[in-house]
Chain A
Amino acid sequence: MRNHGRSRAGIWLMLAPLYLFTLLFVAGPLIYMVVLSFQQRAEVWGVVHTFTLDNYKNILTPVYLQTFVESFKLALTSTALITLIGYPFGYFMAKLPAIWKKRMMLLIMIPFWTNSLIRLYGWIIIFRANGSLDKILMGLGLTDSPLKLLYTYPAVVVGMVYALLQFMILAVYSSAEKMDWSLVEAARDLGASPLRAFYTVTLKMTLPGLLSGIILTFIPSMGLFFIADILGGNKVVLVGSLIQDQLMKAHNQPFAAALSLVLMVLTTLMISLYKRVTHSSELEGLL
């Protein structure tokens, strides 16, 4: 107990880097974003420090509101497709024998860790006019001219689904893996149809994973502007693309800050709703 004071000082010394870094480089920028969103852009470059609500009014103008709606629709479409494809995948994966679970995990992790640009580039090769897909379809006689899929809306959706699918798979898998399968059997023994057993037992028990997967895919799909950029060729504009344009091209920092803040509030609302529904403090399958 004699060196109690000294070891307490020691602990604060250990914590100092985290406190300093977090307050300066995470809290600082986020607080600045809030402040910035209420300020005015200068005529040419920079920011004028006067209070204004113009940036938020600006978001409500039809052009920008439209972007939010479009971006939201794209995120919904992608998330729905990811759920349809990813949920069964994670579920079936959890039912595999132990050795295959491990192998499957490795097979899923490799593309997950592969640079997302490399994976997108693969889709460019597939979608390009006279690319792989056109050749196959024309070879089979299904189409007689190139489909010109690159730089279209469906191409962006495929890119989104492809980039984010693993999040859903891993989240559902980690939920389903922990599940007690004897409960399903019990339900079946008691006369429940497979569908009813799935609905009343399996779906309920994998709900945290499913919801976590939805959040982990929905949130990024509002912001992944480079997918829209590369596969959509400026035809598809996300909230993310808008923020990037305002920052890099229009040099309108306050408006970009307001857009970011609105996006961040939406995100936070979704996560807290998740915590409310599932009574858990962390997202399932995040690590």
Chain B
Amino acid sequence: MKNRTKLPNIYLGIILFVIYLPIVLVVVYSFNESKISSVWGGFSLRWYETLFRDKDMFEALVNSIVLGLSSSLAAAIIGTLGAVGFTKITARTKNVVEYISMLPMMTPEIILGMVFMAFFSLLGLPFGMTTLIIGHTAFCIPYIYMLVKARLVGMDKSLPEAARDLGASETRVFFDITLPLIAPAIASGMLLSFAMSFDDVIISLFVTGVNVNTLPIKVYTSLKTGVTPEINALCTLMLAFTILVVTVSALLGRKKS
């Protein structure tokens, strides 16, 4: 360790610079007065004004939030109950179901989108918010499941046993002992799920209906057809939101340890 050079640090710095450069450019140009993004026309907030007046955009935002909340909540319930239940049984179907429920994490998104689209049209489900929620829940479950399972493995098993010995029912043990202990894992799983749902383009494109847009779908369409600085403003706000979420979760993590 004596002959440590500065080279590794320089390398880390350069790569980080390249990683952040595109993001910074998007933010900088969101304050550009000029409509042509290669020309700097002075500082302005006009694109934020345009954005806030855009009703379609607002609708897409509401959709994205509703979708993120519903799917992360559904995934949290299904994944948590499943992870807790699986620690208690040794059924033959256990490994199979566990493997299948983890598949959405291992499968390329394009395939998930494809199979969901084909299957939902087979079932005759109306494409829109319902299909979006089902699709997003499916890819969120593995994250909740894995985080909760990891937490359960590290948990002190004598606590629920003691409660049972003292006469507590299984329900009581779950709500009074297990749930509070795994709550941090559920919380970070839901945060991750919300972020993934809020970010998803591919699966959403396949399972959404004609009239339901999410923010990423809006951004995708405008990147393909023609970008206005309004998208820069939107991206900047989404970025601010992300930084907020990451910081909050990092702070939560610090408190825990």
Contact = CB atoms under 8 A, between A and B. Distances in A.
Interface of A: 3, 7-8, 10-12, 14-15, 17-19, 21-23, 25-30, 32-33, 36, 85, 88-89, 92-93, 95-96, 104, 106-111, 113-126, 128, 130-132, 135, 162, 165, 219-220, 222-226, 229-230, 239-240, 243-244, 247, 253, 256-257, 260, 263-264, 267-268, 271, 286-287
B153 interface: no
Interface stretch (B43-51, B54-62, B105-113, B154-162): B105-113
Contacts of B239: 114-115, 118
A99 B79 CA distance: 33
A257 B238 contact: no
Nearest to A117: B219
Nearest to A135: B38
B128 to A, nearest CB: 16
A10 B89 CA distance: 11
Interface string B211-223: 0000010011001
Given A25-B134, A222-B108, A287-B143, A110 B246 contact: yes
B37 A36 contact: no
Contacts of B235: 115, 117-118, 121
Given A18-B79, A107-B16, A130-B38, A118 B238 contact: yes
A20 B227 CA distance: 43
B82 interface: yes
A117 B220 contact: yes
Given A17-B81, A21-B137, A32-B118, A126 B21 contact: yes
Contacts of B85: 11-12, 14-15, 18
A130 B36 CA distance: 11
Interface of B: 8-9, 11-12, 15-16, 19-26, 29, 37-38, 77-79, 81-82, 84-86, 88-89, 93, 97, 100-101, 103-111, 114-119, 122, 134, 137-138, 141, 143, 145-147, 150, 169-171, 195, 198-199, 201-202, 205-206, 216, 219-220, 223-224, 227, 231-232, 235, 238-239, 242-243, 245-247, 250
16 contacts: A15-B81, A26-B103, A33-B114, A33-B118, A33-B119, A89-B12, A92-B8, A92-B11, A106-B246, A110-B246, A111-B19, A113-B246, A118-B235, A253-B118, A256-B118, A287-B146
A111 B88 CA distance: 39
B114 A15 contact: no
B46 to A, nearest CB: 18
Contact of A115 (B104, B115, B150, B238): B238
A14 B82 contact: yes
Majority-rule SS of B interface residues: helix
A256 B117 CA distance: 11
Given A115-B238, A116-B201, A125-B29, A229 B115 contact: no
Contact of A267 (B106, B119, B220): B106
A19 B145 CA distance: 13
A266 to B, nearest CB: 10
B101 A26 contact: yes
B23 A122 contact: yes
B12 A267 contact: no
What are the 5 closest A-B residue pairs judged by CB atoms, nearest first? A122-B22, A18-B82, A223-B110, A29-B119, A14-B85
A115 B242 contact: yes
Nearest to B235: A118
Contacts of A268: 106
